């Protein structure tokens, strides 16, 4: 490990860049040019900023500044097109960042435009799946088993078939940059490792190494966008801050990254979701932010005792305090909170747990994403059966709570939820 020999321009505020430019005797418009080169052109080095005078570039270099994009150390490509990137920073530390070319399915029903689009896609998938099996489909004559109407008149889709979607129906070139996704998702890390110690999560086994800077958080996204040859004017990209780390324990850097992503990169806040394990004081801060992603809470248990076992952080911030903060959280028009619930076989996946969940979140404008455990080495839990997952989902949906079973992405390359842990150190996976 070595200390970086330079200061990264990525991640600096517009005010900081202005001070640097002015300090080097440059007019104010050079800041706009710097921002364009850093965030829109996504250039790797100062030599590419040819619209800047050579003397200014040299002064920046001599003053110890560099762009600061992370380098791609390794790439693992899943059969479903998901790519797990190992990205290295200047001090030798690295994190994992995941590219999902067909999205992660996590936004369905969250009230956003993309959530609506996901619902439509899931309905089409279901129709396709049902038709291929000769079953009646919703809207056709006969009983449609997977769609129900709720009071608002919206259509709510129970994802009975979603987990069994055939991956081979994806385009053959889904893992290559020439494939143009309709709506890709990048799963972003906020820390190197994590201190939260969720018992089902491989990242927890790393412990916390350090926080990422705002530039390192944004840099992950830029490196992946470059590798995938994404053009922001043409391609839709969603971001989920659900990679390594607890974003709300690196709050200032995380929020600085969000502002740069919105203002300088051009990704709308409505296409971003952050997941927290329940850092209660930050939930109120987050609600007061003028620009912020949507909020997801990784709940995983419906009562204090069980959650404390699975997520020891519950000792500090109890479910009671967490739910009180969420009830105060100022949701925007149509916005819904998302509860993430990782189902652990025989631990938190019983119908009695589902009933407790109903009681816990009743009255909140919220939806639930159910994730059958993505198992991994050293994780002492098993993946529940499909029957248990569907029984859990049924309890929620019958109680009028939108609940979606998320199809795992990139399980074969250890890129799925809870699996990010430099897995090359643990098991052999093919690059």
Q: How far is the CB of 168 from ligand SF4 (least distance, A)?
A: 30
User: Toward ligand SF4, which CB reaches closer, 129 or 298?
Assistant: 298
Nearest distance, CB of residue 416 and ligand SF4, angstroms: 12
Residue corresponding to tokens 């479910």: 319
The residues near 270 (Cβ < 8 Å, ≥ 6 apart) are: 112, 113, 114, 294
Q: What one-character DSSP code corresponds to residue 332?
A: P
User: Which one of 81-89, 90-98, 194-202, 327-335 is the stretch in contact with ligand SF4 (CB under 6 A)?
Assistant: 194-202
What sections of 146-200 are H helices per DSSP? none
What is the distance between the alpha carbons of residues 145 and 133, in angstroms, rounded to a whole number? 13
Q: Note whether 203 binds ligand SF4 by CB under 6 A.
A: yes
Q: Pattern of binders to ligand SF4 over 206-245, x per CB under 6 A?
A: --------------------------------------xx
User: What letter would DSSP give residue 241?
Assistant: E
Please report whether residue 123 would count as binding ligand SF4 according to CB under 6 A. no
* Span of 20-28, 155-163, 171-179, 195-203 interacting with ligand SF4 by CB under 6 A: 195-203
Is 196 a binding residue for ligand SF4 by CB under 6 A? The answer is yes
The site string for ligand SF4 over 290-329 (x = CB under 6 A, - otherwise) reads --------x-------------------------------
Contact (Cβ atoms closer than 8 angstroms) between residue 145 and residue 160: yes
Q: Interface with ligand SF4 by CB under 6 A: which range of 97-105, 131-139, 201-209, 384-392?
A: 201-209
Residue range at the interface with ligand SF4 (CB under 6 A); choices 145-153, 170-178, 199-207, 230-238: 199-207
- The region of 3-11, 156-164, 193-201, 392-400 touching ligand SF4 under the rule CB under 6 A is 193-201
Stretch that binds ligand SF4, among 39-47, 105-113, 159-167, 192-200 (CB under 6 A): 192-200
Residue of 194, 198, 201, 417 marked catalytic: 417
Q: How far is the CB of 311 from ligand SF4 (least distance, A)?
A: 7
* Catalytic residue selected from 96, 107, 216, 246: 96
DSSP classification of residue 383: P
Distances (CA, A) of 267 to 43, 56, 212, 312, 375: 18, 29, 20, 34, 32
Closest CA to 246 of 271, 218, 283, 219: 283
Annotation marks residue 417 as catalytic = yes
Residue 246 makes contact with ligand SF4 by CB under 6 A = yes
Q: How far is CA 211 from the centre of its chain?
A: 17
Least separation, in Å, of the C-beta of 149 and ligand SF4? 35
| Cβ at position 309, least distance to ligand SF4 in Å | 14
Q: How many residues bind ligand SF4 (CB under 6 A)?
A: 13
Concatenating the DSSP letter of every residue in 150-163 gives -TTS-EEE--TTGG
Cα R_g (the chain), whole angstroms: 22
Q: Is 96 a catalytic residue?
A: yes
What gap in Å lies between CA 351 and CA 395, rounded to an integer? 7
Only one residue has tokens 């078939």, namely 161
CB of 276 to ligand SF4, least distance (A): 8
* CB nearer to ligand SF4: pick between 194 and 301: 194
127 binds ligand SF4 (CB under 6 A): no
- Residue 195 burial by Cβ neighbours in a 10 Å radius (0-12, 13-18, 19+): middle
Q: Kindly give, in sequence order, each residue whose CB lies less than 8 Å from that of residue 305, ignoring residues fewer than 6 positions away.
A: none
How far is the C-alpha of 300 from the C-alpha of 353, rounded, in Å? Answer: 10
- Contact call for residue 204 and ligand SF4 (CB under 6 A): yes
The answer to whether the beta carbons of residues 70 and 87 sit under 8 Å apart is yes
Q: Is 187 in the site for ligand SF4 (CB under 6 A)?
A: no
Contact between 194 and ligand SF4 by CB under 6 A: the answer reads yes
Instruction: Tell me: does residue 201 bind ligand SF4 (CB under 6 A).
Output: yes
CA distance 151 to 145: 18
* Vertex 427: Cα angle to 421 and 428 (nearest 5): 120
Identified binder of ligand SF4 from the candidate list 9, 34, 46, 198, rule CB under 6 A: 198
Out of 122, 277, 393, 402, the only residue in the binding site for ligand SF4 (CB under 6 A) is 277
Sign of CA dihedral 114, 115, 117, 122: positive
Distance CA 34, CA 19 (A): 13
Displacement of CA 176 from its chain's centroid (Å)? 21
Residues making contact with ligand SF4 (CB under 6 A): 194, 196-198, 201, 203-204, 244-246, 277, 298, 418
Catalytic residues: 96, 417
């Amino acid at each position: 490990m070595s200390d970086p020999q330079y200061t990264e321009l990525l991640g600096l505020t517009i005010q900081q860049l202005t001070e640097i430019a002015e300090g080097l005797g440059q007019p104010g418009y050079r800041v706009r040019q710097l921002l364009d080169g850093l965030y829109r052109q996504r250039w790797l080095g100062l030599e590419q900023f040819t619209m800047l005078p050579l003397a200014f570039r040299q002064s920046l270099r001599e003053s110890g500044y560099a762009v600061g994009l992370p380098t791609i150390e390794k790439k693992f490509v899943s059969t479903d097109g998901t790519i797990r990137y190992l990205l290295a920073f200047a001090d030798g530390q690295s994190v994992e960042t995941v590219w999902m070319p067909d999205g992660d399915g996590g936004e369905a029903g969250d009230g956003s435009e993309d959530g609506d689009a996901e619902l439509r896609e899931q309905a089409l998938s279901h129709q396709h799946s049902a038709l291929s099996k000769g079953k009646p489909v919703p809207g056709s004559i006969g009983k449609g088993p997977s769609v129900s109407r709720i009071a608002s008149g919206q259509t709510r889709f129970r994802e009975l078939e979603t987990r069994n979607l055939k991956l081979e129906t994806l385009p053959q070139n889904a893992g290559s940059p020439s494939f143009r996704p309709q709506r890709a998702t990048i799963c972003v890390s906020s820390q190197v490792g994590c201190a939260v110690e969720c018992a089902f999560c491989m990242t927890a086994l790393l412990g916390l190494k350090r926080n990422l800077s705002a530039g390192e958080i944004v840099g992950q996204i830029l490196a992946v966008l470059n590798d995938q040859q994404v053009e922001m004017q043409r391609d839709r990209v969603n971001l989920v801050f659900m990679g390594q780390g607890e974003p709300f324990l690196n709050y200032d850097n995380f929020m600085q990254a969000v502002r740069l992503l919105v203002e300088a990169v051009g990704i709308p806040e409505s296409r971003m979701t952050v997941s927290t394990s329940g850092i209660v004081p930050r939930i109120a801060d987050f609600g007061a932010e003028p620009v912020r992603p949507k909020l997801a809470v990784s709940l995983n248990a419906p009562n204090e005792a069980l959650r404390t076992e699975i997520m020891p952080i519950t000792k500090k911030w109890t479910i009671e305090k967490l739910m009180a903060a969420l009830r105060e959280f100022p949701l925007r028009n149509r916005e819904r909170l998302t509860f993430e619930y990782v189902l652990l076989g025989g631990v938190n996946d019983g119908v009695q747990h589902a009933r407790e969940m109903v009681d816990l979140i009743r009255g909140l404008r919220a939806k639930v994403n159910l994730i059958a455990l993505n198992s991994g080495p050293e994780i002492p839990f098993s993946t529940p059966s499909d029957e248990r997952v569907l029984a859990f989902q049924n309890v929620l949906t019958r109680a009028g709570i939108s609940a979606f079973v998320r199809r795992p992405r990139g399980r074969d390359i250890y890129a799925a939820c809870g699996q990010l842990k430099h897995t090359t150190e643990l098991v052999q996976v093919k690059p």
